[in-house]
Structure 1
Amino acid sequence: MRRRKLALGALPTLAALCSLSITAPVVAAPLPAAPSIATAVDAASVDRFLELYEKIKDPANGYFSDHDPPVPYHSVETLIVEAPDYGHVTTSEAFSYWIWLEAQYGRVTEDWGPFNEAWASMEEHIIPSAAEQPGNSAYNPASPATYAPEHDTPNQYPSQLDVDVPVGQDPIAGELRSTYGTPDVYGMHWLLDVDNRYGYGQCGDGTSSPSYINTFQRGPEESTWETVPHPSCDRFVHGGQNGYVDLFVGDQQYAQQWRYTNAPDADARAVQAAYWALTWATKQGNQSQISDTVTKAARMGDYLRYSMYDKYFKQIGDCVGPDTCPGGTGKDSAHYLMSWYYAWGGGTDGAWAWRIGSSPSHFGYQNPMAALALSTVDQLKPRSPSAVADWDTSLGRQLEFYRWLQSAEGAIAGGATNSWNGRYEQPPAGAATFYGMYYDWQPVYHDPPSNRWFGMQAWSMQRVAELYYATGDATAEALLDKWVAWAMDNTTVDAAGGTWQVPAELGWSGQPDTWDPGNPGGNSGLHVTVTSRNQDLGVTSALARTLMYYAAESGDTAARDMAGDLLDAMWAPNNQDGLGISVEETRADYSRFGDEVYVPPGWTGTMPNGDRIESGATFTSLRSWYADDPDYPQVEAYVNGTGPAPSFRYHRFWAQADIAMAMADYGLLFP
């Protein structure tokens, strides 16, 4: 039997001046100057960092599992639904924030052991081992994967594989294998069931933890509420007669298989953290303590290049028609952006394997700091022959992308795709383009729209602000001049009262001008409005860090002062508790606990705990264990119409880590 390569891997859950031109980054030295360590500091801010750090690391507070080494949970609380559907799963995002947090700890204390330990935990728990990705030696770079069109809604799945659609060649697999002496991929899968709550274990053993799992597979309208959680290694032990595979992909026969999906923003964040760790440790004279970890970060960056490629390695630009758009050769399938994912998989028998990139790119996933590190810092340059040149190209391309997407007001619009509707369809007439890729105001997912959340703005522009601080790059400066003014105009803060309002949701209209690198347009037809505001802690912290890095380089005292006021407001007594920093969050969206999950008529199966997978299943019926959660009664009352929208004081790992790091940044940037 010919076993086709199953191309799964969708992932849920970041100055418009006519005369502005894109300039190459200005890098004066491999490692830019860092703030003085443990001498010229604002001691109060650094003390705040250490206080919150100790709360995060205290085992009694529940941020980490009891594995050895430990695993950070998505949140202390178990009942929480966002991109993760349960608080005690975790993500590559959380691991990357942990590594970044420990880099800051080394900066403040000169103790680099925890930084190395965090990377070691990531390597053990969320980067698949050779045994967990068998068969990569059978991978054929000339035929990376079999095409399966994406569809608009879950009820259009499974998607039929089509062996007749041309796909391109994978131009980096050979050099990666030659460089590292292995056919295996060194990158994080995005989602772990930390304590085996679902019961899959590893490869169906039912008991091992953490366990690789996945959720999103069925197009842009599949929200978290409409997913079927499934194991990353599917031996057909659970689910239906073909495990879970035939919920997503249609084929003549099905094989037991494994598949992993990488979230490029998380791997890039880990590289970004390694860059700063190296910068700070070098200033201390301690770089030898982290040299092995830095080498691993460079390796991760080598494989992260898979996110620079079209999903099926088709040519970039004007790629219309799955049958007519040709497969790429060499690097002409590379867009050089950080796309939404890359994925890889194969048979559990080791007989076949596949790999895919991703056609859509969201501005929020871009990380020019990682690109800077991987293209200019000797210790972080990946070893593969073409990697440094690729990352150098990516750095310039990412800055162009931000510039192309900057609205008239200053916020950054969604992104672009090389595959309209995930099927290489004809885009709407007049669609603006970026190197032949089509503007998409909500790349990848639509429920909710992927660029409605202001957090994408703060996350991504913080990286641009770091780049500006590290290099003085003129393009980064121009982007920030306009973005910072817009963000500050839409932010209010009462530091003494411990309250503030930052943008929460954004509305978009129009589109950018088609990109011309030699003559960038002014984007007078691309507009944003702030439609709601809130006190999201992690987003507020990311905004404050953006403002402070911008202020540290530009000398903008208003940005510096607003950053400080936001930190003071978050630190106010009314926002303090024994676990860290928290604010009241009302979750009206929890009405969707009762949402129906599409299961094709006639398809039946069971979850490991016996929950039935069949037509009429709901988010809760596939997760019946939620009924035992102590926070569930208020959710149940709300869903049943007998109670108000539930409220919580959540402690998300990434948000607490970001707040702590913001305190350290402020104390060291503004002594």
Structure 2
Amino acid sequence: MKSLALLLACVALVRAGTYQDRFTEQYNKIHDSNNGYFSNEGIPYHSIETLIVEAPDHGHQTTSEAYSYYVWLEAVYGGVTGDFSKFNNAWQSLEDHIIPKLQPTNNYYNPSSPATYSAELDDPSQYPSPMEPGVPTGQDPLFQELNQAYGTEDVYGMHWLLDIDNVYGFGNTQGQCELGPNESGASLINNYQRGPQESVWRTVPQPTCDSFKYGGRNGFLDLFVGDNSYAQQWKYSNAPDADARAVQAAYWAAQWARSAGKINDISSTLTKASKLGDYLRYAMFDKYFKRIGNCIGPYNCPGGNGKDSAHYLISWYYAWGGSLTTNGGWAWRIGDGATHFGYQNPLAAYALSNEETLKPKGTTAVDDWSKSLQRQLELYQYLQTEEGAFAGGVTNTWKGRYDTPDSNLTDDTFYGMFYDWEPVYHDPPSNRWYGMQPWSVDRLAQYYYVTGDSSAQGVLQKWVNWIIPNIKIENGDFSLPLNLGWQGDPPRIDVTIESYGQDIGAASATARTLAYYAAKSGDSNAKNVAKQLLDAIWTHNESKGVTVVETMDTYTRFNEKVYIPSGWTGTYPNGDVIDESATFIKIRSWYKNDPDWSKVESYLNGGAAPQFTYHRFWQQADIAIANGVYALLFNE
């Protein structure tokens, strides 16, 4: 714990140096209202620019990821300045805007029958997926415990996606359902819902609350799930890595505030973070609460009892919803049996099981998070390649429908869960992007920094020895891996670097990982590389932040076909028709009014791929955080 004590002492002793100055400069740019990082409601946009298609399909949407970075940014601000009021304000904004208030029928939820099974299919063109009421599901062991702890049936978790400017026009503002395009304020929306091949280019965005006002005869419901009857309903989806990152940020806020004698200033916010972590446990369970381990065949794999449906990892999502009407009302909840190494957060698990101000009220929560911590550490070991990088993840539900996995995957399992090199989504492959590496390993390094856990140190050292030779710093600039390739299965997996690039967010996360590792281990080379990488990133500093030019050759996909079943027709609030001729741009005609549309139009007409300099909130915040943390760790 000596390094943690050193860090806390630095809160009081740190003097303005190069990296603290950079933090302050970057922080001020993010908060400069002229730069456009926040909406009028104080919500962080996914990016300043509106024309951007990646996970969100518009820059003035936002994600729970962005909100978690906002909370983290303000926690570091408190660590640097001693002012934690902005940390409190960021959490309040999170609670006001992205934790859903419209949950009208949770009281009808039956934890003995959490949801009706519907298989995930291989391709969007196979949907709607039929519901199969005869498939056994398990029991939800959290519902009563959470009700008793918090006195409510509602879920305290972030929905993952907000249409801040109500571009789609659904008007699902907090507590409201389909108020339409004239409604001002952030609107909660959904998109991905049709299998692993459904990239952002092939989605049919839909409202979180569907009263059949838009879409087709049954709203948007019959595009995704086949049923004999459809009811107006609400539904939300949580990205657990974001909730865990928010808890992680709260942990550091607690350490820095305590050192500054200001822990009471943030006590109510820490209580909220603890509550978020309590509900985050839904991410530890199989999608239909089925038994963990060798779960093959939807009818053969039994439902779980108690905690035998818990894999104790941080999975890709959890979701919940229900009917709009209370006459014959119903509600449902699901976890997820697929878990990606990139979503794991051992520091959050440690915080929720060890930090007194963050221990949740749920009677079994501390024990669950303690088990999760150990399980996550084991997963890193299981997925680490010969070279040192980490492969994709594991799943309890092969292909999203409890299929029989390939025979080469049944010999070496993880608690009976099967290795999957690209869990969850395949377009693009979910573990191709190098950024998943430092996103997750940074959290492992923070855990190691706090605890000195030798098992974490061994895993980290192997990763550090892999990445340092693959960071190229020449003439003051940098490049590092961009896309990765994978071969083999446990216990022998190998990684190759397929391309290099300048992802500024992945670079700053890499620098922070090396900094935390160096601060605890004393590895001077890791510290020097972290410093050089931060310096190289900063050469791309400009008036609104840090940017590099990106060539968007994926934008040919604006014309990509979006699958709509033959004979199905509907409309969006702006009048865009949804039918079997749909393409990405046809159901988003408003994009043609974007100030950058001419770049894409020229490309679609045979011109060169357009170039953009994007200011993504998460990247800009990550760069600020990396510099602020480096200043706190090394007093520079």
Q: For residue 40 of structure 1, report the CA deviation from its aligned partner.
A: 3.5
Q: For residue 41 of structure 1, report the CA deviation from its aligned partner.
A: 4.4
Q: Is the 8 A contact 2:7 2:632 kept in 1?
A: no
Q: For residue 640 of structure 1, report the CA deviation from its aligned partner.
A: 2.0
Q: Is the 8 A contact 2:314 2:343 kept in 1?
A: yes
CA distance in 1, matches of 2:360, 2:445: 24
- Partner of 2:558 in structure 1? 593
Q: How do residues 391-406 of structure 1 correspond to structure 2 at under 5 angstroms?
A: 391-406=369-384
1:112 aligns with 2:84: yes
* Residue 579 (structure 2) aligned to one of 614, 621, 635: 614
- Partner of 1:22 in structure 2? none
- Partner of 1:649 in structure 2? 613
CA distance in 1, matches of 2:391, 2:2: 31
CA distance in 2, matches of 1:33, 1:609: 53
1:557 aligns with 2:524: yes
Q: Is the 8 A contact 2:562 2:582 kept in 1?
A: yes
- Partner of 1:228 in structure 2? 204
Letter aligned with residue 453 of structure 2: D
- Partner of 1:446 in structure 2? 426
CA distances 1:323-375 after superposition (whole Å, capped 9, x unpaired): 11100000000000000000000011141100000010000000000000000
Letter aligned with residue 529 of structure 2: M
Letter aligned with residue 433 of structure 1: T
- Partner of 1:134 in structure 2? 104
CA distance in 2, matches of 1:191, 1:401: 28
1:353 aligns with 2:331: yes
- Partner of 1:387 in structure 2? 365
Q: For residue 31 of structure 1, report the CA deviation from its aligned partner.
A: 8.7
Query: Alignment partner of 1:458: what SS?
Result: helix
Q: How do residues 150-229 of structure 1 correspond to structure 2 at under 5 angstroms?
A: 150-202=120-172, 203-206=177-180, 207-229=183-205
* Residue 497 (structure 2) aligned to one of 522, 530, 542: 530
1:415 aligns with 2:393: yes
Query: Alignment partner of 1:404: what SS?
Result: helix
CA distance in 2, matches of 1:30, 1:388: 22
Q: Is the 8 A contact 1:32 1:279 kept in 2?
A: no
1:73 aligns with 2:42: no
* Residue 663 (structure 1) aligned to one of 624, 627, 630: 627
1:579 aligns with 2:544: yes
CA distance in 1, matches of 2:423, 2:9: 37
- Partner of 2:274 in structure 1? 298
Query: Alignment partner of 1:618: what SS?
Result: coil
* Residue 145 (structure 1) aligned to one of 93, 115, 140: 115
CA distance in 2, matches of 1:208, 1:257: 22
Q: Is the 8 A contact 1:35 1:668 kept in 2?
A: no
Structure 1 runs not aligned, ≥5 long: 1-26, 514-524
1:631 aligns with 2:609: no
Letter aligned with residue 587 of structure 2: L
1:289 aligns with 2:297: no
CA distance in 1, matches of 2:6, 2:536: 31
Query: Alignment partner of 1:622: what SS?
Result: coil
CA distance in 2, matches of 1:510, 1:258: 42
Structure 2 runs not aligned, ≥5 long: none
Q: Is the 8 A contact 2:315 2:336 kept in 1?
A: yes
TM-score normalized by the length of structure 2: 0.97
Q: For residue 559 of structure 1, report the CA deviation from its aligned partner.
A: 0.9
- Partner of 2:96 in structure 1? 124
- Partner of 2:314 in structure 1? 338
Cα distance change of structure 1 residues 112 and 590 upon mapping to structure 2, 3 Å threshold: same
Cα distance change of structure 1 residues 279 and 224 upon mapping to structure 2, 3 Å threshold: same
- Partner of 2:346 in structure 1? 368
Query: Alignment partner of 1:239: what SS?
Result: coil
* Residue 280 (structure 1) aligned to one of 256, 263, 269: 256
Q: Is the 8 A contact 2:572 2:578 kept in 1?
A: yes
CA distances 1:170-223 after superposition (whole Å, capped 9, x unpaired): 001000001100000000000000010100001111114211101100000000
* Residue 43 (structure 1) aligned to one of 6, 9, 17: 17
CA distances 1:54-79 after superposition (whole Å, capped 9, x unpaired): 11011111000001xx1000000000
- Partner of 2:73 in structure 1? 101
- Partner of 1:509 in structure 2? 487
Query: Alignment partner of 2:398: what SS?
Result: coil
Q: For residue 578 of structure 1, report the CA deviation from its aligned partner.
A: 1.4
Q: Is the 8 A contact 1:31 1:279 kept in 2?
A: no
Query: Alignment partner of 2:212: what SS?
Result: coil
Q: Is the 8 A contact 2:387 2:495 kept in 1?
A: yes
4+ runs deviating over 6 angstroms: 27-32
- Partner of 1:521 in structure 2? none
CA distances 1:498-536 after superposition (whole Å, capped 9, x unpaired): 4211100000000112xxxxxxxxxxx210000001111
Letter aligned with residue 545 of structure 2: G
CA distance in 1, matches of 2:368, 2:57: 35
Letter aligned with residue 512 of structure 1: P
Letter aligned with residue 122 of structure 1: L
Cα distance change of structure 1 residues 34 and 661 upon mapping to structure 2, 3 Å threshold: same
Q: How do residues 246-285 of structure 1 correspond to structure 2 at under 5 angstroms?
A: 246-285=222-261
The count of corresponding residues between Structure 1 and Structure 2 is 625
Query: Alignment partner of 2:408: what SS?
Result: coil
Please provide the CA RMSD for this pair: 1.3
Over the matched positions of the two proteins, sequence identity in percent amounts to 59
Cα distance change of structure 1 residues 201 and 667 upon mapping to structure 2, 3 Å threshold: same
Q: How do residues 467-482 of structure 1 correspond to structure 2 at under 5 angstroms?
A: 467-482=447-462
Letter aligned with residue 564 of structure 1: K
Query: Alignment partner of 2:43: what SS?
Result: coil
CA distances 1:399-431 after superposition (whole Å, capped 9, x unpaired): 000100000000000000001111111111120
Q: Is the 8 A contact 2:4 2:449 kept in 1?
A: no
CA distance in 2, matches of 1:330, 1:189: 26
CA distance in 2, matches of 1:277, 1:312: 35
CA distance in 2, matches of 1:208, 1:234: 18
CA distance in 1, matches of 2:124, 2:371: 37
Q: Is the 8 A contact 1:41 1:670 kept in 2?
A: no
